[in-house]
Amino acid sequence: MRSAPTILHLDMDAFYASVEQASKPSLRGKAVIVGGLGPRGVVATASYEARRFGVHSAMPMAQARRLCPNGAYLIPRFRLYQAVSELVMGLLRELSPLVEPLSLDEAFVDLEAGGVAFDSVTARATGERLRADIAAATGLSGSVGLAGSKMLAKVASEEAKPAGLLLIEPGTERELLAPMTVRTLPGVGPVTGEHLRRAGMTTVGDLAEAGEDELVRMLGRSHGVGLHRMALGLDDRPVVAERDAKSVSVEDTFDIDLHDRVRIRGEVQRLADRCVQRLRASGHSGRTIVLKVRRFDFSTLTRSETLRGPTDDPGVVREAAARLLEGVDTTGGVRLLGVGVTGLADYTQEDLFAQASVTLGAEDAGGGPDAAGESDVRDGSDGAAGVRGADGVSGVAAPGGAGAAEPERTAPGDPAAPRPSHHAAGADAGGASGRHWAAGSDVRHAVYGPGWVQGSGVGRVTVRFERPGSAPGRVRTFRVDDPELEPADPLPLVGEEGAQAP
């Protein structure tokens, strides 16, 4: 614990949804839900307007549509989110060399290490200046927490939401934490929270009063000691600028269970190629290939094959994944497939063909193993891809059609960031043309300029033509195979191109 509140935690407000509202003027002030649009889609982020209807992250998209039938439902645009995130992280790095990103929209900053804050006054001034700089650079709002520890800074930013700043003065931690629910503390999930509730502990103050011995008796030494320290506001973890990745993975959830073995093999090959793209983009190679299969009954199996040395060769990964698939019974159907690489290194060994030392293992798990790169919030995500950090936080993430959940972190400048996949239920098959127009995706018309897809069906696609910074634009409908309508890259949220009137 520090004697001055010089650890800053930034959390952008409803990041994905806010980016969509900023880039689509007609959606400002309206309920926006970003995620997978298929029947197995999952909400990635909901705007504050949508949250009033009870919509929240990780909720099944079908449930969100029932709660908020008039909301705008859009696919994620991770390339744009990544670009905006880089602007924000750049501003943080101007404050200090010690910036610890937790996701695209969240990070800790050690202000003292950067020499920009040494007490409450300078810390508050730095936080307010950061919020103003973020608004000027992106047009978005972020919430800032300032405290003497990482845990308290994160608590402060949560309390400051939306678009606020809260500074916790050293010495006031216990008073602030005491009335808060036990779920406020890191590591207290639904199961632990219910266990504590049955013991009569519902607030952080209850945990502090219970004492370390009682919490150790209930939860075990490691968890009990740590939880008691946090209840007292004690946290000595430093801000760490770099975290080593443990694995790279890619997975898809399918709107309809796959039964055709040939189709399943083809999907595994496609996932292996995407996984290698991400592996190379992260600057790694890997030694263990992992296949993940979630079957029709939600049972999840994993198989792994360990090579004699690390590789980033797509042929090696494809062949290993294919061999692993041969040992999996897909009778009854498959709803999710994933390919991952673990045992990461920064070098490769080229002559790995037919040199695999096979280690097979099966795991019946509802959420899958770390090697598969899936967190609970990603259940049902299509096209989710991750680099998992040493602390277990999923990293690099990519959009998908069926249900992309909010990812933790995306690699800057990732060339493998995908486009909406062919599984996207929000995309219209487009008749014979086969063109896909997913709701929310960027387009450009030869006559009307840039716009975004509001929806498509029965051979037609509806587009609203507007830019960031413009007035709400007009809506026009075209045939899905209109030769003058093409997919486009997102426009910047702030800048001359984005501000021009359509």
Of 163, 101, 154, which is closest to residue 134 (Cα–Cα)?
163
Tokens of 363: 């795991």
Residue that is written with structure tokens 């360990």 in the block:
306
H-assigned helices in 331-411: none
Residue that is written with structure tokens 């990519």 in the block:
398
Of 483, 465, 471, 5, which is closest to residue 233 (Cα–Cα)?
5
CA–CA separation, 463 and 444 (whole Å): 9
CB–CB of 38/255 below 8 Å? yes
CA–CA separation, 237 and 227 (whole Å): 14
Of 377, 374, 376, 393, which is closest to residue 385 (Cα–Cα)?
374
Phi, psi of 426 (to 5 degrees): -75, -10
Of 212, 207, 217, which is closest to residue 177 (Cα–Cα)?
207
CA–CA separation, 89 and 241 (whole Å): 12
CB–CB of 383/418 below 8 Å? yes
Q: Is 484 a catalytic residue?
A: no
CB–CB of 473/464 below 8 Å? yes
CB–CB of 230/151 below 8 Å? yes
Q: What is the DSSP string of 448-485?
A: TEEEEEEEEETTEEEEEE--TTS---EEEEEETT-TTE
Tokens of 245: 């990745």
CA–CA separation, 29 and 386 (whole Å): 32
Of 305, 312, 302, 255, which is closest to residue 278 (Cα–Cα)?
312
- Amino acid found at 317: V
Active site residue: 106, 173, 251, 305, which one? 106
Phi, psi of 19 (to 5 degrees): -60, -40
Spatial strand order in the sheet of 165-167: 99-103, 106-110, 7-12, 142-147, 165-167
Q: So which residues are the catalytic ones?
A: 106
